[in-house]
Amino acid sequence: MAVGQNEFPTMPPIPGIKLGTTNAGIKQTVRDDLLLIAMAEKATCAAVFTKNAFCAAPVLVAKEHLKNKPRWLLINSGNANAGTGLQGYEDAKATCHQVAAEADGKANQVLPFSTGVIGQRLPVDKVKAGVPGAFSKLNEDNWDKAARAIMTTDTFPKGVTQTIMLDGHAVTINGISKGAGMIQPDMATMLAFLATDAKIAQPLLQSCLAKAVEQSFNRITVDGDTSTNDACVLMASGLSLAPEITENSSQYQQFADTVLSVCKQLAELIVRDGEGATKLMRIVVEQAQSDEEAVRVGKTIAHSPLVKTAFFASDPNWGRILAAVGRAGVAYMVLTDVQIYLDDVCIVRSGGVANDYTEAAGQRVMDQEEITVTIKLGRGQAYQEVLTCDFSYDYVKINAEYRT
């Protein structure tokens, strides 16, 4: 189940970025579960990772290898290789060595990523055995297959592409992501991989990605859980005919805006595919004193099981939203200044229910598949938006049966 129509787009090739997939039989033998990405020799690579203290073994290895001018990414689904201690770390390293042997490269230039069940040892022999197959299928046109290979409980592959003109030359940015549950990113989503043919230095690419992630993947939540395996990678092959992007240039701002747009769209697709989701909710917080305050209010509402189940039931039980705002930790909040809306319907004004609010008007909005909840705090100019989904019976079922 997912909210809206979400078809995978036609993704143009990115010169210098090749993708290959295969089935390694990590958890199932029906679809591909191993993805290998190869970058051009002069490509630059940026990445951000989960802040979960129990970060997975591949996250530890990828952080170490990121400084070594990465050339390859190896991603497996079906097993997170998290909570596996020193053995998991050695297993992640072993998969890097396998890629290096196949590519005649260096193991410390391989970034490993895993997603799936936590606490089970990675079937490293299966992964290593699958590497040659993925290597043999490397191709610039495999974005659809790549998006499918990294899926776990996702119901559809997620992809976004945009092309911009810089100094008369085309620059393309492609992105794929996966994630449907354990989504409360504290850096990114569970896994996201973006690539471009732009020419840009690694420090500037890293800064661009970090800013985009903060305003996109860090503004979504499905269930309030931050994964042990979150990672977001941006690769730049440098093979576009456009000149190198430099800091403080108009070209950089245009490029950064496009990266942010791609990230926002990928993030929204994750929420639309939230486990068991039937509704998409945009929590808009206006007139806050700071961005941090606005995000805190937005996420307090988005994380509330009572709010999320009310939306699943299409029940205009606005008191649950009011209560969430009240416990968001806003210091010295003036209640009579706060306004709360369901789409264009004002439900709270002057400290209580709006005089012109009717249950029928609230019901009309709650019956929709996509709903905007707007909170006007009346205390500043800051504005932030948080995306979330409802809690349905299927969310409980999917996660109760996740290992069976």
| CA pair distance 265, 161, nearest whole angstrom | 10
| CA pair distance 225, 386, nearest whole angstrom | 15
Report the Cα 371 to chain-centroid distance in Å: 21
Axis-axis angle for helices 305-312, 291-303 (nearest 10)? 60
| CA pair distance 389, 220, nearest whole angstrom | 9
CA distances from 92 to 79, 100, 157 (A): 12, 13, 25
DSSP of 228-251, one letter per residue? SS-EEEEEE---SSSPPB-TTSHH
| CA pair distance 9, 35, nearest whole angstrom | 19
* Residues whose CB is less than 8 angstroms from the CB of residue 399 and which lie 6 or more positions away in sequence, other chains included: 181, 275
Residue 382: exposure state from Cβ atoms within 10 A (0-12, 13-18, ≥19): middle
| CA pair distance 298, 15, nearest whole angstrom | 40
Identity of residue 216: S
| CA pair distance 404, 398, nearest whole angstrom | 10
Residue 247 pairs in a beta bridge with none
189 among known catalytic residues: yes
| CA pair distance 221, 219, nearest whole angstrom | 7
β-pairing, 191-196 with 34-39? Answer: unpaired
The enclosing H or E element of 233 equals strand 231-236
Please say whether the beta carbons of 153 and 2 come within 8 A.
Answer: no
Task: Please give the structure tokens belonging to residue 201.
Answer: 């230095």
β-pairing, 339-342 with 352-353? Answer: unpaired
- CB atoms near residue 54 (< 10 Å): 10
**Catalytic annotation, pick one of 21, 189, 228, 278:** 189
* Residues whose CB is less than 8 angstroms from the CB of residue 344 and which lie 6 or more positions away in sequence, other chains included: none
Candidates 240, 153, 179, 202; CA nearest to 50 is 179
Return the active site residues.
Answer: 189
